[in-house]
Structure 1
Amino acid sequence: MAPGVGLRRRLGTGATLLLRELSAFGVVGAACFVLDLTLFQILYSTVGLGAVTSKLLASAVSTSVAFVGHRYWSFSRRARSGLRREYALFFAVNGLALALGMLMIAAVRYGLDQESALVLQLTNVASIAVGTTLRFVLYRRWVFLAPVAPDEDGPRTTTTVAAPPRPEPARP
């Protein structure tokens, strides 16, 4: 028996899919975290761009790479609802997670009047954990829609989810 087959049987299809998505999500996230840090350092130290510009460009590139990794690997077994829709929602979810992290740090720094680098770094780590959890849940719920069911006669197929029909305007 291949390694992990017994575990997959015991967990069931839903739990196996969740474990697969969570594992891939972690790998893509870690790789993009390293990419973000590396690009920031190169743009700021070597290229000579400003800190904010470097962070903005590094974040834009790493978020785009994360989108590709999540769309085609982490959540590859899910239905496709359109590249533009998924990309826009992906960036919106990342913006929400970033805003939440900034609010947490601002609340500790200014609301609780904490200036300690250790306290602020611990808050930063907590905000990353909360943001990562939020992103995973929202990616699964809003960005990459429910998994496509296997066809009875063959392999999985991807489908495009159509927008709901628009109501007809009332006629006098």
Structure 2
Amino acid sequence: MATTAASKPPLVQKLRGLTGEVVKFGIVGLSGVVINFAVFWVCINGLGLASLRSNIAATVIAIATNYLGYRYWLYRDRDAASRKREITLFLVFSGIGMLIETGVLAFTVYVLHLDSHYEQLGAKVIGLAVATVFRFVSYRTWVFTALPEPEPAAVASTADAAHAAHTADGQELAAQAELMLVTEQIRYAKAE
């Protein structure tokens, strides 16, 4: 069966879908950022932890809350056949994102010697921005994979099978109708 232009969504429709996905990703991510910065601030100021330890604790808590948002809101329609694989990949890519974010913070504090709380927050913003781009690409590409689209041959064979079943049902129905007509004709003939 030939692929028609109607079976492929136009570029505008794909971009519209991607825009919606980016907005939802941003909403979930923004909630994670709020949690991340709040925990980071409490760890640095309230608990007196070092900046890297505070960053790791804050990021781990944000990762956990973000997973719930991504899985049950943004990517709820994606393939969830293998949750173990999904969670493993999510944690791996989130961990890489955390390393990116923590690396930027470590570079700022230990190499550039910018270690006031506000300078650390600024470094955290930059690291988080870079890590967010990495996470978006990796989550949508490898973690929350889209359900595979049916192949045109499979769609055609399914349609052909449905048509054949419909035709067979129609032939069977026609045979039953003819049998009923013959029976009625015999009954009328006997009544006369």
TM-score grouping bracket, smaller chain normalisation: 0.5 to 0.7
Distance 1:124 1:43, change over 3 A: closer
Report the counterpart of residue 184 of structure 2 in structure 1: none
Higher relative contact order (CA 8 A, sep 6+): 1
Q: CA deviation at 1:11?
A: 2.1
Aligned residues: 142
Distance 1:119 1:56, change over 3 A: closer
Report the counterpart of residue 96 of structure 1 in structure 2: 96
Report the counterpart of residue 11 of structure 1 in structure 2: 12
Report the counterpart of residue 86 of structure 2 in structure 1: 86
Distance 1:26 1:103, change over 3 A: same
Residues in 1 aligned to 2:67 and 2:133: alpha-carbon distance in whole angstroms = 16
Unaligned runs of 5+ in 1: 1-8, 154-172
Q: Which has the larger radius of gyration?
A: 2
Q: Give the match's secondary structure for 2:12.
A: helix
Q: Percent identity?
A: 28
Instruction: Tell which deviates more after alignment, 52-61 or 136-145.
Output: 52-61
CA deviation map 1:32-82 (0-9, x unaligned):
22234455677898xx87747876665444322211210122223322241
TM-score by length of 1: 0.62
In the TM superposition, 1:116-127 aligns within 5 A as 117=116, 120-127=120-127
CA contact (8 A) 2:56 2:98 kept: no
Report the counterpart of residue 142 of structure 1 in structure 2: 142
CA contact (8 A) 2:86 2:143 kept: yes
Greater helix share, 1 or 2?
2
TM-score by length of 2: 0.57
In the TM superposition, 1:14-163 aligns within 5 A as 14-38=14-38, 51=49, 59-111=59-111, 113-115=112-114, 117=116, 120-149=120-149
Q: CA deviation at 1:102?
A: 1.9
Instruction: Tell which deviates more after alignment, 63-72 or 143-152.
Output: 143-152
Residues in 2 aligned to 1:56 and 1:131: alpha-carbon distance in whole angstroms = 13
Unaligned runs of 5+ in 2: 1-9, 159-192
Residues in 1 aligned to 2:31 and 2:88: alpha-carbon distance in whole angstroms = 21
